[in-house]
Amino acid sequence: MYCLTRNDMKFKDYFIPARTKANVITKPNTQTVDAPGVQLEISINLWNINNKPCPVSEVQIDNELQERAYGGAGSQFIGIVILTNTTEVYMDADDERYFDVDLYDWQVKRIFDDEIPKLEKGRHGYTKLRSVIEYLDNEFAVWVHDNCEFYTYTEEDIENGDCYGDAEAGDTTLSDKGIEQFENKKLEYQKKLEKIGFTYDFKGGLIWD
């Protein structure tokens, strides 16, 4: 399970900007996010931290355990562990722990700003988180198809290997401008879900390796 930090964090020399990706070590024992007092531990890789005190290579060189292991390439200091709570991070909605969560009406209204589409309901009338994610990702996919700039591979691209794995001439991929358009719009869709404490890696109808 992963999460994103909501706000900037600073611990001594380490500055961790908002929206830094982290791994969740201790899984919260509740399906409710945004709940105060629900603690968890997260680990953050040094290379995911901007403005870190020194390059990762220097940290690895200075690690006193590096030369102790067999073969001369041993343990390395590559990250930090932080004790925090669920109000400080956005939790991954795609994790099996959360994907079938029921949402209250007020949560759904926050996501859609009161213009609520028809969504799947559970046995007790609650809206499924899964249904919300599928709706948003389908809507995002339509936007990507209609608005993002794509590049079409040529025979020369294929011959030069300037393409993804098994691409053929005529296949399309996002151009550099298209990737920027995609990422900016994706952030908008993530922020819709983050209003209730979740985040999600929206695909926009595209295949990502």
Beta 172-174 vs 89-92: how paired, if at all? unpaired
Residue ending a domain, choose from 92, 126, 151? 92
Is 52 a member of any domain? yes
> Over the stretch 53-76, which tens digit does the pLDDT of each residue have?
545 555 555 555 555 555 555 666
Output the average pLDDT for the chain. Answer: 83
User: How big is the CA angle at 133 (ends 40 and 102), to the nearest 5 degrees?
Assistant: 65
45 and 72 co-located in one domain: yes
Instruction: Compute the distance between CA of residue 18 and CA of residue 32 in angstroms, rounded to an integer.
Output: 21
Residue ending a domain, choose from 92, 118, 151? 92
- Kindly report the number of other CB atoms within 10 A of residue 28's CB atom: 19
9 and 69 co-located in one domain: yes
Do 183 and 143 form a contact (C-beta atoms < 8 A)?
A: no
Please say if the pLDDT value at position 185 is more than 90.
yes
Instruction: Compute the distance between CA of residue 38 and CA of residue 97 in angstroms, rounded to an integer.
Output: 15
pLDDT band at 165 (very low <50, low <70, confident <90, very high): low
pLDDT score for 209:
66
pTM of the model: 0.81
Over residues 156-163, mean pLDDT: 71
Residue 1: Cβ-neighbour burial (10 angstroms; 0-12, 13-18, 19+)? middle
Q: Structurally, how many domains does the chain consist of?
A: 2
104 and 65 co-located in one domain: no
130 and 191 co-located in one domain: yes
Nearest residue to 152 via CA among 130, 177, 174, 172: 172
154 and 168 co-located in one domain: yes
Among the residue ranges 124-128, 159-163, 195-199, the one predicted with the least confidence is 159-163
Is 208 a member of any domain? no
> Over the stretch 110-131, which tens digit does the pLDDT of each residue have?
999 878 888 878 777 889 999 9
Please say if the pLDDT value at position 132 is more than 80.
yes
Over residues 13-23, mean pLDDT: 90
80 and 141 co-located in one domain: no
Is 22 a member of any domain? yes
> Over the stretch 25-47, which tens digit does the pLDDT of each residue have?
988 877 778 877 788 999 998 87
Is 175 a member of any domain? yes
Top-confidence residue, 75 or 184 = 184
Residue 12: domain span: 1-92
7 and 83 co-located in one domain: yes
110 and 70 co-located in one domain: no
Please say if the pLDDT value at position 52 is more than 50.
no
Do 40 and 86 form a contact (C-beta atoms < 8 A)?
A: yes
Is 209 a member of any domain? no
123 and 38 co-located in one domain: no
Do 163 and 157 form a contact (C-beta atoms < 8 A)?
A: yes
75 and 102 co-located in one domain: no
pLDDT score for 58:
53
Residue 17: Cβ-neighbour burial (10 angstroms; 0-12, 13-18, 19+)? middle
Is 197 a member of any domain? yes
pLDDT band at 49 (very low <50, low <70, confident <90, very high): confident
pLDDT score for 161:
67
17 and 78 co-located in one domain: yes
CA dihedral 59, 57, 176, 165 (to 10 degrees): -120
1 and 86 co-located in one domain: yes
